[in-house]
Homo-oligomer: A and B are copies of this chain.
């Protein structure tokens, strides 16, 4: 008999968040995770111990957590559902690009495998979410990142926006208002010193946008030429 390991919504959110944070730093600090999930550090630590017991993560005391292979594939399954729902909400239901992230965060926990497969087929097996991030395939494989953060561009360079990582609705709303959607063409005009903002001209917009470094690290681009 298979170990009937039901994964609660809460556990799925922990695993998904760890996967997202591992793209920035690894192992992931307890406090990072606490901030991302909006819960206290002791709560995270307690859950991390439960996850470690189930061999979904490894915890190095005073260092942080990392996903095991098992945990990683669990996380990718959630990410797949999340991004498929996002496509559905934008492409089929025509809901706003910056709002669907939150809606998908609810739906991602509530779709049986048969539903996910049928949804993917209906959508034409898309390979990116509306924010440009890759959708893992049914086996859990995901293409590696080829774009670079806008933060690492050089002044004067032009680029095409490819994707926005570490999605959060407030970030998406901010970027949408400035035309910074996947596919947008932009030019880095200036970088203020002392951790100051990046001035970015977006094609079709009159005024350049000022992006803090925090944000510029999450916006990925393909430089032209």
Chain A residues in contact with chain B, CB under 8 A?
Answer: 89, 92-95, 99, 102-103, 106-107, 109-112, 114-115, 118-119, 122
Contacts and interface: CB of A to CB of B under 8 A. Distances in A.
17 contacts: A89-B115, A89-B118, A92-B122, A93-B115, A93-B118, A93-B119, A93-B122, A94-B118, A99-B114, A102-B112, A103-B111, A103-B112, A103-B115, A106-B111, A106-B112, A107-B107, A107-B110
Contacts of A112: 102-103, 106
The secondary structure that dominates the A interface is helix
A190 to B, nearest CB: 39
Given A95-B115, A103-B112, 16 more contacts: A89-B115, A89-B118, A93-B115, A93-B122, A94-B118, A95-B114, A99-B114, A103-B111, A103-B114, A106-B110, A107-B107, A107-B110, A107-B111, A107-B115, A109-B110, A110-B110
Contacts of A107: 107, 110-111, 115
A114 B169 CA distance: 15
Q: Which of A92, A94, A115 has the most chain B CB atoms inside 10 A of its CB?
A: A115
Contacts of A111: 103, 106-107
A109 B110 CA distance: 8
A65 B93 CA distance: 38
A21 to B, nearest CB: 24
A110 B118 CA distance: 18
